[in-house]
């Protein structure tokens, strides 16, 4: 199969999988009552999933990996080139997943690297699309380390689209708002029942459940948290315990300099910029007949919910662990 046809096939499979996951979330939700068009949906879809992914793909492959490939002789290192494609895919899946586990764990314990990871934890309504919300620098680091070895070690061209498809499908799955039990498979493969806990605002899971695809890493290194019940269902039980910007650009700026998003509204230029998206959503409301009030609440971020540092939803709720500042 040609590379072009393979890309078309993997893209079609990914779109079909998204439809399946969306339907699954509606049929068997982990948290009942979450809307498809939840808070931050359009930021995650338009800015993170579409625009950022497109731009960073060019940055990573054309401006980082390509120069490394052109200016360094890797012929002595291309030991995977003779392997069957399926073996190559499995090899890079396992090795990269171990790296992601270790780097993810490091990010939760390092003040600087937490700054480029906190965006991923900022959503209070976690669903299949929530996994796309990651700081641009975090993506550059992780995907360069993911795809550079595939190219530089001489893997078959088919490995990249196949692995990218598996990454995307599994990322949707573990973040999806679906009530699924993996049985004994959960000791090897990651699942929503483990990863959704990682996105909950409890001190027990701030340093737990770091795995992406293979939960065996958490079991081997003693970082698994599986209490057998769900987190609380209030806003303070999910995401970050501190206020976080709703705007894509402000989320990146926040990683460099802390500020109060609401205080910036006193500047006319910022207020005008900040009103662009709500105005667009209002027009879409009129066009599609949706609830303008709902979109204003979910997507403008003009009045974000305040999350206290001492949330106590249920008997198992603990004071959230202060994230590294």
Q: Following CA atoms 23, 118, 301, 239 in sequence, which dihedral angle do they give, to the nearest 10 degrees? A: 60
Average model confidence (pLDDT) across the chain: 88
CA 35 – CA 53 distance, rounded (Å): 24
Tell which residue, 195, 180, 198, 299, has the closest CA to residue 239. 198
3-7, 109-113, 117-121, 172-176: least confident range: 3-7
CA 59 – CA 68 distance, rounded (Å): 13
Predicted TM-score of the model (pTM): 0.85
CA 307 – CA 316 distance, rounded (Å): 18
Query: Rounded to 5 degrees, what are φ and ψ at 315?
Result: -65, -25
CB neighbours of residue 164 within 10 Å: 19
45-99 pLDDT, tens per residue?
999 999 999 999 999 999 999 999 999 999 889 999 999 999 999 999 999 999 9
152-156, 198-202, 265-269: least confident range: 265-269
89-146 pLDDT, tens per residue?
999 999 999 999 999 999 999 999 999 999 999 999 999 999 999 999 999 999 999 9
For 203-325, strand residue ranges (E) read none
35-44 pLDDT, tens per residue?
999 999 999 9
Q: Is 80 helix (H, G, I), strand (E, B) or coil?
A: coil
211-260 pLDDT, tens per residue?
999 999 999 999 999 998 999 888 899 999 999 999 999 999 999 999 99
């Amino acid at each position: 199969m040609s590379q072009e046809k393979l890309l078309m096939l993997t893209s079609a499979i990914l779109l079909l999988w998204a439809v399946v996951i969306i339907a699954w979330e509606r049929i068997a939700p982990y948290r009942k009552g979450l809307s498809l068009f939840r808070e931050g949906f359009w930021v995650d879809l338009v800015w993170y999933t579409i625009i950022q992914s497109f731009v960073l793909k060019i940055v990573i492959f054309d401006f980082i990996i390509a120069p490394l490939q052109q200016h360094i002789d890797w012929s002595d290192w291309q030991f995977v080139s003779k392997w069957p494609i399926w073996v190559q895919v499995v090899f890079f899946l396992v090795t990269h997943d171990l790296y992601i586990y270790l780097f993810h764990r490091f990010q939760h314990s390092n003040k600087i690297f937490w700054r480029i990871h906190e965006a991923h934890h900022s959503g209070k309504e976690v669903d299949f699309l929530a996994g796309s919300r990651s700081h641009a620098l975090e993506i550059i680091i992780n995907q360069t380390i993911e795809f550079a070895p595939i190219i530089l070690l001489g893997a078959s061209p088919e490995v990249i689209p196949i692995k990218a498809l598996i990454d995307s499908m599994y990322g949707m799955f573990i973040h999806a708002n679906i009530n699924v039990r993996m049985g004994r498979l959960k000791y090897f493969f990651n699942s929503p029942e483990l990863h959704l806990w990682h996105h909950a605002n409890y001190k027990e899971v701030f340093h737990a459940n770091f795995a992406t695809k293979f939960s065996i890493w958490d079991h081997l290194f003693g970082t698994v948290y599986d209490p057998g019940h769900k987190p609380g269902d209030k806003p303070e039980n999910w995401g970050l315990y501190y206020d976080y910007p709703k705007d894509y650009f402000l989320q990146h700026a926040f990683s460099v300099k802390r500020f109060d998003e609401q205080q910036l509204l006193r500047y006319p230029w910022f207020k005008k910029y900040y009103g662009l998206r709500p105005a667009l959503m209002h027009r879409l409301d009129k066009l599609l007949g949706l609830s303008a009030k709902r979109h204003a609440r979910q997507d403008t971020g003009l009045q974000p919910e305040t999350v206290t540092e001492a949330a106590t939803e249920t008997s198992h709720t603990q004071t959230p662990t202060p994230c590294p500042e």
